Chains A and B, each alone.
Chain A
Amino acid sequence: MNRKRRLPLFWTAIFVCAAAYALIIHGVPYVAREVVGPAEFELPVPAALRLMYLLLIVVGALVYVSYSERNWNEFLWPLSSLLAGRYGIVPKILVMLLFPLLLGWGVIVSGRGGVASPSALWIQHPSSNFPRQYESWHNPLREPSEEILEAFTSEAKDGMYDAIPTAPMQAFLDTIKSGKTANEAVSRAALQEKYLYEGRILYQTNCRPCHGTKADGNGPMAEGFRPRRPINFTDVGTIDTLVEGYAFWRVKTGGLGLPTEASPWDSAMPVWGRQLGEHVQDLSDEQINKILLAEYATARKDPRIPE
């Protein structure tokens, strides 16, 4: 009646389900760790996804074992053999005793209600209320005008930037201080160094307490903000997958500017564009632009190019 299999279908099905599930639970974090590189946190598969995968696997297995009458009978064979007493009277009695007790216990546990923290909403890149004008926004400091460049050059001639030791700045200063005119590429590179210098000071003063000196989300104030810990900018999938305008919008409108599906009520991100007076913002737009330059540089990332 049944084909001779090396393994009964019942156990094959269970083994395949368990192995596939184990592969997802453990294999995915392992591969993710290889891709992401060293970090202090684990990368577990989220609980909702685990449930989804488990359901998919079980439904798939069920479809397979039930697609023919023969398969179905073969699948049920060990179970029905047990109930018919073919493996002995003791296993049969054990299973028939445990099954209803398990059902009763399951009812009590589920009815008692879990005493568990409720889950929180989170979306990687909430954008349902992302203003369109920021999609193609370019940081003006990355392409400063001629006037700004000229003003910078005359300031540099007066020695204002002598303390910046990086190569692009020093090359520029050497050129202009010996009376020559620096070419545009050299001047712009030096101006970027100036912006980076100022931006780093602003970032380290204002953002470091939460986002950390190394832009890794490990600032001294990070511990108290749960479950929405300050973002780790070195993580793949944060600022490197976003256009710079998105980051500008996030900094300016803060946690309260998030859409509902991103749990704004749990977010500690300050509204840095908050008006404090007629002409005063917590951080001005120019300061935010400098901070973005420094933030990307500190995290060693580049923003995504707008379409």
Chain B
Amino acid sequence: MTTLLALRALALYLLVVLAAGHALAAWSPPGQAPAGVVLCAFLLAAAQAGGELLAPRLSSADRGWRSRVRLAVETSYAGVILLVLILTLAFPQARVLAVEVRLLLGLQCAFLLLEGLRGDPLLAIVNGLILAFVTSIHGGVPATGAVLGFLGTLVPFLVFDHFVRVLSVYPRAAEAPLTATALRQALLATLPVLAVAALLLAWRPPLAYADVVWDDLDSDMKDVSLAIYRLLAIAGFMGGAAVYVVSRFLRSRRKRDAPIQDMVDPVLAAEEPLPPALARRRPEYEGANGRVVKLYLDVLEHAADQGWRRRPPVTSREFARQVRPQSPALDALTGLFMQARYGRENLQPADVEQAEQAARKALTDLSSRGGRGRPG
């Protein structure tokens, strides 16, 4: 479980650092970009580590206070997003976009620090998305890197987060060795998405937004040196390692909250193959009688799915009596079934039609009413 938590933290860090790194590479002057990228990688790592430290205190803080602060933060951030989008579309100037990137980077650090307030890093992920959006306007390598980086880290993050969320509710199950399984699932889920995205971007490389205004001083932002990406990779790797280690250390020391449900620790027996399914073949019933018998058996099967299972020692009439409050129509169908199955004479078409109506009504009654079945 600790490993899964650390992997989740690592995936989140890679998501935010790739988004921020590509945005800085796209919208920083070439002279400032390397320092900016390195600084951003370490700042984000520090913020995430700080968030891990603060999380227990924030999550156990007064609920009312937490709700108010959350509402304020989320409302303010919604306003910031709106502002960024309006500025981007209305004033697509390189300098303005550079300022936006720095603002979003600052917010990213804050969201990582305050992750414990919400209990999840949704705001950090949304912020990463906005950074990817701003980067995509630049086009070229930064846009490609931002998109692929975002998709390639979002999917593994969701997988690790899902495993962590479920396992945290079951204390004993959390000890099960699921790291390899989670990694495999993450890989299997990421590869197709990444492959499709990469193919599409290779087919249609992203171009810069035509309306972007490049000042004389900012014109060198158009070309992004690949050396920045090497630096981003190294800084991201170091930051990621730091986040992984810190997360493992902090999580292993953290007290686990008491479960709020009565979670039982089951004893898991060994896995065994399923027995071969026995072919359930009903005997062939012919004619009008056969039709009515088949209708009755279909209704019984549907009733069993809804929780009204007829037990072997219970006769058809007894079963109809039990189900009567739920479905009075079954009485009529049962009577016709008895005639069809055990009677000496063949039923008439009118009887078959009556049986069909009763069967339809019974199926509707059993499906629509909310109550579960009672013992047969």
Are A and B subunits of one complex?
no
